[in-house]
């Protein structure tokens, strides 16, 4: 059985699905690993490193895609320079493991089903204890949370920590984190390590203790509706609750030097948390980093992929932050996909067992069908 690692062709993507260390582990299990020439280049893993780990380097990308039994990648399949889509190249009946964004782009699921591909979407891995080692959303969100703070610190025209110097005392920066999921918690920890005073807000009350244990103050809003959906994710809240939360957070946004927004609701546009009026109240020189930029933005002024200055406030809407740290992002992602593959391979052969709750949840297409009801609904 051939496991193949594709070279990413999406322009912003620097990650690679397997690193040489994980290749070596798979080869030790008696599996054939093919790596497309140059696949690890942007993450600083050379073809020679992969070869030394036991992989076969394949120069012909169409051959790699069409002969793989399991194709591994990071970004959803793309259209190639020759006009063909990567999905067209896949062997019918083969397995694809990747981020597929099936709720945001359900058409891709239909194309995969039409090609009889068994596609496992890394976004659909359940957020359970047993699936923790496969949870790529968490491994990558944590990188994004960390990097968001560094970007904000670099853009802020101030120090982060409190300093007592011969030339006077510097007050610590005030950081407000909106959305305390995996990215938000890592952002809190990073901002605290740099010496900022940190506040955080989330509509899920369960995160209060985690926020406090990281040394941040939790800004609480009591809503008269359930805010948690299945799987522990946040629900989309009513217009009334949105208004109440905006009123509550407005003064915290106004008094912060840095606002980092991370709020998302799976399959929907990101909730609008920071209005133009709130930005207008912020001090000139303040910085907003909006991690939901690609999902429409938590801030009304965000433009995805751009840094803009609005009323003296710098608003940064980064795209694919994990890819800006491709070494560790690839290392963690490689561990995630390798753990998932252990559920699919028995005695060096492929065995798709839908009795396994993780395989069942992550498998978006199989046998010519879309298996996930939410993805089917999104196609309507
Ligand atoms: P996410 O990326 O979907 O969202 C980020 C945060 O934004 C969440 O904390 C969410 O509550 C918050 N949010 C959404 N709407 C908001 C609003 N209007 N105002 C303020 N905040 C808002 O979240 P995530 O980091 O992917 O985590 C999702 C869930 O998965 C959480 O319950 C988390 O605890 C859980 N999880 C479990 C495990 C595990 O058990 N293995 C691992 C990781 C995450």
H or E element that contains 65: helix 61-67
How would residue 235 be classed by pLDDT, with cut points 50, 70 and 90? confident
Residue 92: pLDDT over 80: yes
pLDDT tens digits along 288-310: 999 999 999 999 999 999 999 99
Atom number in ligand 1 closest to CA 245: 19
User: Closest Cα partner for 152 from 121, 112, 111, 196?
Assistant: 196
Contact 210, 185 (CB under 8 A): yes
pLDDT tens digits along 46-71: 999 999 999 999 999 999 999 999 99
Residues with Cβ within 8 Å of residue 363, at least 6 apart in sequence: 118, 119, 120, 124, 352, 354, 371
Residue 132 annotated in active site: yes
The pLDDT, as a whole number, for residue 266 is: 76
pLDDT tens digits along 140-175: 999 999 999 999 999 999 999 999 999 999 999 999
The answer, yes or no, to whether any atom of ligand 1 lies below 6 A from the CB of 267, is no
Residues with Cβ within 8 Å of residue 236, at least 6 apart in sequence: 265, 268, 271
pLDDT tens digits along 199-215: 999 999 899 999 999 99
**C-alpha to C-alpha distance for 246 and 248, rounded to whole angstroms:** 5
Give the residue with greater pLDDT, 361 vs 264: 361
**C-alpha to C-alpha distance for 73 and 298, rounded to whole angstroms:** 29
Strand 174-178 with 168-170, pairing? unpaired
> Which residue out of 61, 94, 121, 138 is catalytically annotated?
138
Across 129-138, 147-156, 170-179, 220-229, least confident range: 220-229
**C-alpha to C-alpha distance for 100 and 77, rounded to whole angstroms:** 7
The answer, yes or no, to whether any atom of ligand 1 lies below 6 A from the CB of 265, is yes
How would residue 356 be classed by pLDDT, with cut points 50, 70 and 90? very high
The pLDDT, as a whole number, for residue 87 is: 97
The answer, yes or no, to whether any atom of ligand 1 lies below 6 A from the CB of 125, is no
Both tokens of 303, joined, read 């433009």
Residue 380: pLDDT over 90: no
**C-alpha to C-alpha distance for 109 and 74, rounded to whole angstroms:** 16
97 secondary structure, DSSP code: E
How would residue 227 be classed by pLDDT, with cut points 50, 70 and 90? confident
DSSP 18-58: --HHHHHHHHHTT-EEEEETTTTGGGT--HHHHHHTTPEEE
- Ligand 1 centroid from CA 160, angstroms: 26
**C-alpha to C-alpha distance for 251 and 221, rounded to whole angstroms:** 13
171 secondary structure, DSSP code: P
Strand 163-165 with 118-121, pairing? unpaired
- Ligand 1 centroid from CA 10, angstroms: 27
The pLDDT, as a whole number, for residue 305 is: 96
The answer, yes or no, to whether any atom of ligand 1 lies below 6 A from the CB of 260, is no
Both tokens of 332, joined, read 């963690």
**C-alpha to C-alpha distance for 9 and 65, rounded to whole angstroms:** 13
Residue 367: pLDDT over 80: yes
Greatest Cα pair distance in the chain: 72
Per-residue b or e along 256-273, where b marks 16 or more CB atoms closer than 10 Å to that residue's CB: bbbbbbbbbbbbeebbbb
The answer, yes or no, to whether any atom of ligand 1 lies below 6 A from the CB of 179, is yes
Per cent of the chain over pLDDT 70 is: 100
Residue 232: pLDDT over 90: no
- Ligand 1 centroid from CA 110, angstroms: 28
> Which residue out of 233, 272, 307, 356 is catalytically annotated?
233
The answer, yes or no, to whether any atom of ligand 1 lies below 6 A from the CB of 358, is no
The answer, yes or no, to whether any atom of ligand 1 lies below 6 A from the CB of 181, is yes
The pLDDT, as a whole number, for residue 267 is: 75
H or E element that contains 304: none
DSSP 185-246: HHHHHHHHHTT-EEEEE-S-GGGHHHHHHTT-EEE----SS--B-GGGPBPPPPHHHHHHHH
Atom number in ligand 1 closest to CA 129: 41
Residues with Cβ within 8 Å of residue 175, at least 6 apart in sequence: 149, 152, 191, 196, 197, 198, 199, 256, 257, 258, 259, 260
Residue 223: pLDDT over 90: no
54 φ, ψ (degrees, to nearest 5): 105, 5
The pLDDT, as a whole number, for residue 237 is: 87
The pLDDT, as a whole number, for residue 265 is: 81
> Which residue out of 47, 78, 127, 356 is catalytically annotated?
127
How would residue 228 be classed by pLDDT, with cut points 50, 70 and 90? confident
Contact 247, 274 (CB under 8 A): no
- Ligand 1 centroid from CA 202, angstroms: 9
Residue 127 annotated in active site: yes
**Region 259-267 average pLDDT:** 89
Residue 135 annotated in active site: yes
> How far does CA 24 lie from the centroid of its chain?
26
Please state whether 144 falls in left (phi above 0), alpha (psi between -120 and 50) or beta.
alpha
CA R_g for the chain: 22
**C-alpha to C-alpha distance for 23 and 144, rounded to whole angstroms:** 25
Across 51-55, 94-98, 195-199, 269-273, least confident range: 269-273
């Amino acid at each position: 059985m051939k496991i193949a690692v594709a070279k990413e062709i999406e322009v912003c993507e620097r990650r690679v699905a397997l690193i040489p260390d994980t290749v070596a582990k798979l080869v030790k299990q008696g599996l054939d690993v093919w790596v497309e020439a140059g696949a690890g280049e942007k993450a600083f893993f050379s073809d020679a490193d992969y070869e030394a780990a036991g992989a076969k380097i394949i120069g012909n990308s169409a051959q790699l895609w069409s002969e793989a039994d399991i194709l591994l990648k990071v970004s959803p399949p793309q259209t190639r320079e020759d006009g063909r889509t990567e999905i067209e190249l896949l062997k019918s009946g083969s397995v694809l493991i990747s981020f597929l964004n099936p709720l945001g782009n359900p058409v891709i699921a239909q194309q995969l089903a039409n090609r009889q591909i068994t596609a496992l979407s890394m976004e659909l891995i359940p957020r359970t204890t047993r699936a923790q080692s496969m949870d790529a959303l968490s491994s990558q969100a944590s990188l994004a949370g960390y990097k968001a703070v560094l970007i904000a610190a670099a853009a802020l025209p101030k120090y982060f920590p409190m300093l007592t110097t011969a030339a006077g005392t510097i007050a610590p920066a005030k950081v407000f984190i909106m959305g305390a999921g995996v990215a938000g918690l890592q952002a809190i920890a990073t901002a605290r390590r740099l010496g900022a005073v940190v506040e955080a807000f989330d509509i899920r009350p369960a995160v209060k203790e985690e926020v406090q244990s990281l040394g941040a103050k939790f800004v609480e809003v009591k809503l008269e509706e359930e805010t948690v959906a299945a799987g522990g994710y946040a629900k989309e809240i009513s217009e009334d609750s949105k208004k109440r939360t905006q009123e509550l957070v407005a003064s915290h946004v106004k008094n912060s030097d840095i606002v980092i927004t991370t709020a998302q609701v799976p399959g929907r546009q990101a909730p609008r948390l920071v209005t133009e009026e709130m930005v207008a109240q912020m001090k000139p020189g303040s910085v907003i980093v909006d991690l939901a930029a690609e999902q429409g933005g938590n801030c009304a002024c965000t433009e995805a992929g751009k840094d803009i200055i609005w009323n003296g406030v710098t608003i940064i809407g980064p795209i694919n932050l994990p890819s800006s740290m491709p070494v560790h992002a690839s290392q963690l992602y490689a561990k995630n996909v390798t753990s998932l593959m252990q559920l699919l391979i028995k005695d060096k052969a492929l065995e798709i067992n839908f009795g396994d709750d993780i395989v069942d949840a992550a498998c978006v297409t199989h046998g010519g069908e879309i298996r996930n009801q939410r993805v089917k609904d999104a196609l309507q």
